[in-house]
Amino acid sequence: MIRVQENTSLKPYNTFGIDVKTKYFCEIRSDDELQELIATDLFKNEKKLILGGGSNVLFTRNFDGLLILNSIQGIEIVEETEEKITLKASSGERWHSLVMNCVKHNWGGIENLSLIPGTVGAAPMQNIGAYGVEVSEVITKVEAIELTTGEIKMFTREECKFGYRESIFKNTAKEKYFISSVTLTLCKKNYHINISYGAISDILKQMNVSQPTIQSVSEAVIKIRTEKLPDTTTLGNAGSFFKNPEIGEKLFEKIKSEYPVIPHYTAANQQVKVPAGWLIEQCGWKGKKFDRIGVHATQALVLVNYGDANGEEIFQLAMKIIQSVREKFSITLTPEVNIF
């Protein structure tokens, strides 16, 4: 049975801890409840916004519509062979709980994505990635419900049009679907342990691990994330605020001649990817605190709400950062978080 609340604060539902209100609020715990909601006049008439863990959003104003909180739980095995296992995870499951479940069973593929905040449903939306792995590598299917008709639609991996922190759900399918489940195929045997990301091998050395396992890689990732990234449960933030920009070789060479140590990675189409955190740090923002907001001290890519800041203040800080990076490096950063 669904219950629609009015004039509800979203503070508990976004990791930035921004206190905005939504005109209508409804928590959905099953596919049936979603269908029940879809059949209401309220659903037909109001503007809609779906929220999972609220860990990748910045609210700058009240929401004048129906906010749907996705709490659909459940993980089931849909196929299993000696080598592989295919799981269907409901979209309201916590992403990290799914990872921990897989690590415990020794199913390989998502251990590098340990401790990423948010829900399973948000994972394909922005193709979450960390430490050399992107979720698009293991997703085989995404089941979504079309918001206007209530019909179920299956997206194959190709149809999801995954890119770096991108998918069809952030582009042409934006706000058209409610992702209800994600199907992933993981390895039970011959899994590929990915320790290509320098920081993981350093931590594993410190942990005296010479033969990395799914469990030790997960532990290493948890250690790095805990040290570098602020805990969303104690300090308001939404992880990386900006995407790492890709720039042309010419501009890269120009910057490199002045900053020979600039970290960088080769990207497609002769582009070079540079860490936005490094660029922001060079502009002097790292660790800066302005009253109740700031730039995190150990990772300049993370903007922080130290108290009761509003979203507009954080948005203005983001704009100033974009401007200063543009002035110094001729690079325009784009936000990774969804701004409402």
Comparing CB distances to ligand EPU, the nearer of 48 and 273 is: 273
Q: Give yes or no: 218 in active site.
A: no
Stretch that binds ligand EPU, among 43-51, 103-111, 273-281, 327-335 (CB under 6 A): 273-281
Instruction: Show the tokens assigned to 260.
Output: 């020979």
Which residue matches tokens 């931590």?
Answer: 203
Residue 243 touches ligand EPU, criterion: CB under 6 A: yes
Residue 299 touches ligand EPU, criterion: CB under 6 A: yes
> Whole-number minimum distance, CB 242 to ligand EPU, in Å?
6
Residue 239 touches ligand EPU, criterion: CB under 6 A: yes
Name every residue whose Cβ is closer than 8 Å to that of residue 234 and which is 6 or more positions away in sequence.
Answer: none
Q: Give yes or no: 3 in active site.
A: no
Q: β-strand 57-58 against 63-70: which pairing, if any?
A: unpaired
**Residue 152 in 3-state DSSP?**
strand
In the set 55, 114, 167, 240, the catalytic residue is 240
Cβ atoms of residues 303 and 57 within 8 Å: no
Q: Looking at 121, 277, 294, 311, which residue binds ligand EPU (CB under 6 A)?
A: 277
Between CA 250 and CA 322 the distance in angstroms is: 21
Q: Give yes or no: 216 in active site.
A: no
In the set 165, 167, 180, 216, the catalytic residue is 165
Between CA 70 and CA 197 the distance in angstroms is: 33
Nearest to 338 by CA among 62, 151, 126: 126
Between CA 232 and CA 260 the distance in angstroms is: 34
Q: β-strand 338-339 against 57-58: which pairing, if any?
A: parallel
Residue 275 touches ligand EPU, criterion: CB under 6 A: yes
The residues pairing with 108 across neighbouring beta strands, listed in sequence order, are 187
Name every residue whose Cβ is closer than 8 Å to that of residue 228 and which is 6 or more positions away in sequence.
Answer: 298, 299
Residue 329 touches ligand EPU, criterion: CB under 6 A: no
Comparing CB distances to ligand EPU, the nearer of 154 and 297 is: 297
Name every residue whose Cβ is closer than 8 Å to that of residue 274 and which is 6 or more positions away in sequence.
Answer: 244, 245, 246, 247, 252, 255, 262, 263, 264, 331
Q: β-strand 4-9 against 21-28: which pairing, if any?
A: antiparallel
Residue 131 touches ligand EPU, criterion: CB under 6 A: yes
Residue 15 touches ligand EPU, criterion: CB under 6 A: no
Residue 294 touches ligand EPU, criterion: CB under 6 A: no
Residue 135 touches ligand EPU, criterion: CB under 6 A: no
Q: Looking at 24, 109, 286, 322, which residue binds ligand EPU (CB under 6 A)?
A: 286
Residue 301 touches ligand EPU, criterion: CB under 6 A: yes
Stretch that binds ligand EPU, among 149-157, 248-256, 276-284, 319-327 (CB under 6 A): 276-284
Comparing CB distances to ligand EPU, the nearer of 38 and 229 is: 229
Q: Looking at 146, 166, 246, 281, which residue binds ligand EPU (CB under 6 A)?
A: 281
Question: Rg (Cα) of the chain, in Å, rounded?
Answer: 21
Which residues are known catalytic residues? 165, 240, 336
Q: Which residues bind ligand EPU (CB under 6 A)?
A: 130-131, 228-229, 239-240, 243-244, 263, 275, 277-278, 281, 286, 299-301, 336
